[in-house]
Structure 1
Amino acid sequence: MALWRTTAFICLQWALQYAVCREVNLPSGPLYRVAGFPLSLPCAVSGYEGARTQDFEWFLYREDAGGRQIGVISTRDRGFPYAPFQSRVRSGEVRVERDSGDRARLVVQRLRPEDQGRYECYTPSTDSRYQGNYSASVIVKVIADTLQISHSRSLSGPPLTEGSELQLTCSAAVQSKQHTHLSVTFGVRGGGAGTGAGPGAAGGGQGHNLREVISIGRELGVAPGRNGDYEKRYRDGEISLEKRRGSAEGDRDLYVMKMAAVAPGDAGSYFCEAAQWILDPEGGWERIAQRTMELGNLTVQPLADTLTVTTTPQGEVILQAGNPLSLTCEVGGVGAWARSALLVQWMRRGAAGDGGVGAEVEVARLGPDGVVGWGDDTSRGRGGSMEKEAEGRYSLRLFSTHAADSGVYRCAVSVFAGRRDPGPSSPATITQRSDGVIVNLKTKEVRVSTVAELSRGPLLKRGNTVSLLCNVSVATTGPSRVEVQWLMRREAPKGTEEEEEEEVEVEMNGRKRLAALTYDGLSRSYSNGSDVSVERLAPGCYRLRIHAATPEDQGHYLCLAEVWGQDPHGGWYNTGARAESASVHVYLYARATDQLLIPLVVGVSSALFVGVVIIATVTCCFMNRLARQRSQK
């Protein structure tokens, strides 16, 4: 047992001594770097004793110097550098940068061909005894700079209108015996309004608000910039980057970046950056060369500054009812028409005589897909048209105007900048409206009056058919027709609030619409409760019948009459003349059977109760008497 403990103690002591051995580490070599570009060699020391801040000394062994040692730089001795490096150290071109107390890196800002060789990192001892290694070395190969970059044309000329297409090209190539990869990045400095670029977008030393737009990485993967909205635009296909190989060996590859629709936030100074990458022996990619080519400044003119929407004629249009109406909407300042989709709408507000007061409704629209839709009156599709006559010119025609066509007309144009086929939920880039055109229609004089009454007969009771008459009188010239609607307001039970109307009930000023007889003779019922019907008994006389009336049908009834006229083309239109009758109160009395029902039920119940009591009493007495007689025997 004692021998086992001694052996374990010796092994533990040996392991602890091994664990604290000094060790200096450098990247594995050889490392290939490009002349004229930086070299960064990290060096780390571990397992040391003494202060946590260690010193570092760098030496170079050139291949053409027969293994002669050249001092490069030291963290503890300013006079350490040999003559070839003294001026470069003083200027800061060669320096040591600390990552921590025991980690530092040698930085050569611009490599020279004579910097090729074996670099040694030495750490002077701070240990109580000499153990481990105190230096490490790595071979650095300096290769020629063959990275080339150019562009065919720069951004120049007048500003681009918002929504226009932008195309930038950049040629890049590298000729190297080593296996290297090339990456190309398109970016922009400055501008950035509305792109959502965060604070981290600023590129130190390369201009304010530096943003990467899109790039092709060293492994040929395309990636959008993370600042701004480039990722979303890339997913939507609005930004792309394409690599086109050179036509002959040695030709530079062409990189083409496209923006389908520029926005004001895309303004700025654009550049193309090419970088050469190599895979180091330890498996990490290192950028060994980089060049940037300025492509010029881009100015974007917002659509809000250029878009114009006008209508003709202007001012006021006065027409006789039945005459055609023609309006034209002209759109300008959109830029390239083929790049942007438009939604054109004709809107109407109020009546001309009211100064355009009231809710605005859509008359017609021409969507980005070229489909015409009619808004407030779908029947207009048979009596009107909306057409695209030319680029930026849209017409609205009503073949026969009605009184309801009076009002203030405006043309509203929504532009989807740079999108030929926007989705249904895609927001428009901008919407602009024209000045109003007042359309005033002169109509013939029409007078109408209505009277509603209950038809004569016995008192109305539950289950009876209720008949209501509406007498309409119209005074006008020319053909006319009447459309009659029946309205009803129920009586609320005492001490309660008014009943909530059911979803199927159509309310007009708090009243329920029951039924209607249209101007073309069609009857319509809007009630899902009682069975109702409406009919025309004679010219000017209309009847509403409620079959099998219930207490819920009690209330105040009235009729509303609207006059329709005929235009010269034979079409019927609402003249706007209407009259509403006074209300008629409908009350239902109880039937005789309803009044006798309760006494009958009470009487029958009482008789049955008394009969049961008498029979039970007689039976009980008889059984008691029979029992006594049996007991006497």
Structure 2
Amino acid sequence: MATGALLLACALLAGVAVAQRVVTVQSGPLIRTEGSHVTIWCNVTGYKEGVEQDFEWSMYLPSVPDREIRIVSTAQPNYAYAVYAQRVNSKEINVERLSGDSAVLHITKVQAKDQGLFECYTPNTDGRYLGSYSARTNLTVIADSLTVAAPAQTLSKVEGDTLQLTCEVSRTTLQHTHLSVGWYLRSPEDAAAPPQELVTLSRDFVLRSGGLYRQRMAAGDLRLDKTSATSYRLTIHKLQPVDQGLLYCQAAEWIQDPDGSWFAMTRKQSDKTQLRIQPTESKLRVQKTNQSLSYLEDSRVRINCSIASQTSQDSQHAVLWYVRRATGSEADELLLRIEKSGAFEYGAYADEERLRRRVQAERLSPRLYVLTLNRAENSDSGTYYCLVEEWLSDPDGAWYRLSRESSGFTQVLVRQPEVRLQVEELEANVTVEESSSIRLGCSIPSQSSRDSRFSVSWYVERSDDDDDEDDVDQLSDEERGRECVFSIGHDAVFGNGNCSPREEAGPNSRLQFERMTSDQYSLTIQGARPTDAGRYYCHVEEWLLNPRNAWYRLATNNSGFTIVNVLQQVSTLKSVVCSTDALFYFVFFYPFPIFGALLIALLFVRYKSRSNSKSQEGKNGAPLLWIKEPHLSYSPTCLDPPALSLHPGSVD
């Protein structure tokens, strides 16, 4: 029993220990120079999970250690006292939240009056108080005594000369601090570009160099020497054109905080030295012939870039190809760059205009470069030129650019084929009978390209009969009642032209389309109807394939009118009788049996009467007349009426 109670008590104590809130602040004292940017971090642990913590910063002056001066809070916007309110509102003092339980206090320009004890307080969010809710650190603000001095001057040197510059760096800080001193170069061509580090003596007394100058420092052409307690001398042997620009010295004063990290309390720069370097006289000359070239789409465009002379036989060249769009862009666009090593890279313009597959650069000889545009298109029109850079190697094997020069301008015009589409414009007047066929032709005697394809459509215009022909010509398409009769696209798909016909193509269609040759088309309307009368014409669209394998319409043209008149059939007795089978049989078939029966009956009666008279006539010696059976012939068609013929018999 006692053992169980002991275990329970230990568990409760362990739970209490785990649940205790702990606030941690950056260890002090923190020593900072006046005017520097001060940061103090603060973390909290042991709180109820899932609740974001707030942070309140206050400070206590050394002269009044018991009076709290509120500075800034993440929860209360008007938390600061009047002495800090203006600096908080201007964001000179602010709190940066790193996470739900971590924040950093920023004082962008610390002042001497900010020296004191800083407290980070986190309001309770657990419903009960257990653990610590605040932590403090001491901030000491000292005067900024760092000085960096170098004369502001302008120097002119010749390529290959030696340059020496001296920088004086000192400070009077009582605390133990370290200095770092370095020389930097800012390019005169791009003021917005970050400065390039030449050589730096770090706070750990280690020399380092950046970028292209590392190799020159290893070769002994770049040095940084501490000639006295405060003097630092930069030496550059064998000056190159790339060394031209603004040179200055920059120093930083470092102090080590109680947590072991180093902090740069202040950084300062010296005045700048304007360095101009006269390069070795360049003999680079690029041919500057201006010319204008005109091409048809899908042609191959070739532009030459010829180097007439160079400074040395060991010179190497980098060639950049530019284009100035015909529409007038703000800056010339880089197509591609050929490095002196032979490698090349495309410019952003080549990627945007999808030129990678069509543009080609060649080096035909050490002084002749060629740009080729395959399958040129209209958007390639513009002004092209090359920019040549001449590079030389110094005695240590480092390459530097000696000079650059551009070529003449080549005006390139890429045009679409000349429109030569013609459609036969002869007019015709055709009269056909109802139920016969209407044949409409469409002839294309001239086309713009041998690769052209055509979309052909037939239209009919219908107007009132009482309208004069001159008035019809003056009407618009809508007023004329233009209707699409048939259409076939350039892809040989029916109904895929520039209109949608009412009567769809199919096995039961009255329309019959035929393409006799590549420039001869015909449309036949079978079973002509009176409603088919009108003014017919064909509409031709000429299509070509552009270099991007997309079809585009080059031109359109219309043929002359074919005026079609349809004669209606007149109703006659013959047409009425032949119109239905029932009426035909009633007129030409059923009467014959009846007529035959009546005729037989009539002959039989007559035969009887003559038999009686024969006996009497025979007695008297009179001859008898015999009648054969009548021969009845008729036609099953409507062309001939039935015929009845009587043939005489023989006299016995």
Same-fold call, TM cutoff 0.5: no
TM category, shorter = 0.3 to 0.5
TM-score by length of structure 1 reads 0.44
